[in-house]
Amino acid sequence: GQLAAALAPGRGDGTTDTKWARTFADDRAAHRVQREEQASGAYPIQPSGLFRELRAALPRDAMITLDAGTLCLQATDALDHFEPPCLFSPLDFGLVGFSFACGLGVKLARPDRPVVSLMGDGGFGMTLSELSTAVSHDIPTVTVVMDNGCWGAEKAYQRDFFDGRYIGADVHSPPFERVAELYGAVGLRAERIDEVGEAVRAGLESGRPAVVVVEVDGDALYSFRRDSFAHRTPTDPNSEKLP
C-alpha cells in the first residue's frame, strides 16, 4: 500500500499517446508486414510462416514454452500471447532442451489449458526420452519440433563471423514423429506450410502426448547478436570488416 502510494504520483495520466509509443507501434506494424511477406510460399517453410500458422491454430489461452536458440526466441515476438501466464522462456541462459520438460510441468500445473512446446531438432534430441514420462503419466502436451537440420544459432554465428567455416553446426536426427509413435505418443509431420495448422490441431485434439515435426528452411538463419562482434574482422584478411 505504501509503495503504491509513493509510486502513484509518477505514473502520469495513463495515456499512451507518446512519441515512443507511436514509434514502437509504427515499427511493429512495419515488422508485421515484412514478416507476412517472408511467410509466403509453401516450401521450404520459413520460420515466420510457421509462427503465423501456429498462432492461427492455437487456442487463445494456449500456454507456450520455448527452448534456447534463435528460432525459438523469435517466437517471443512473432507469436501473439494473450492470457498470462502463457509464455515460458529460458531467455538467454542457454538451456537447450528446456522446452519439452517445462511443458510437461506447465501442463501438470494447468491441466485445463492447452500446452505447446517449441523446440529445434537439436534441442529435442537431447530430451526426447521424456516422451516416456509424458506417455506413462498421460501428460498431453504438443511439442512442435522445428527441424532445420542444424544448430541454428551456432551456424548463423559461424556464417556471420567465421566466413561460413562450419564446425559441428549440422544436426542429423531420426524421424522424431516415428520415435514418438514408438513411445506410444502421437507423431505428425508437416513438410508444407498448409500442413502446419492441420498437424498442430490434430495433436491438440488427440488428447495424448504429441510431437509435430515441421521441416523448416535450413538456410533461414538468424543472428541477433552481430553487435557483440562488431569489432571482429573475418578470418580472411582480404575480407571487408564486418558492419
In this prediction the pTM is: 0.81
d(CA 100, CA 98): 6
Q: What is the pLDDT of residue 147?
A: 93
Q: What is the pLDDT of residue 13?
A: 64
Residue 184 CB contacts under 8 Å (≥ 6 apart), including other chains: 135
Q: What is the pLDDT of residue 243?
A: 45
DSSP 62-77: -EEE--SSHHHHHHHH
* pLDDT per position as a tens digit, 106-118: 999 999 999 999 9
167, exposed or middle or buried, with CB in 10 Å at 0-12, 13-18, 19+?
exposed
- Low-confidence residues of the chain: pLDDT under 70: 1, 10-17, 38-42, 224-243
In sequence order, what are the beta bridge partners of 232? none
Picking from 227, 236, 228, the residue whose alpha carbon sits closest to that of residue 164 is: 236
In sequence order, what are the beta bridge partners of 119? 145
Q: What is the pLDDT of residue 68?
A: 87
Q: What is the pLDDT of residue 242?
A: 46
Q: Which DSSP helix (H) or strand (E) runs through 2?
A: helix 2-7
Q: What is the pLDDT of residue 218?
A: 84
- The three cell numbers of residue 211 are 510431437
> Contact 190/214 with Cβ under 8 angstroms?
yes
> Contact 199/144 with Cβ under 8 angstroms?
no
- Give the chain's domains with CATH numbers: 45-229 (3.40.50.970)
d(CA 74, CA 72): 5
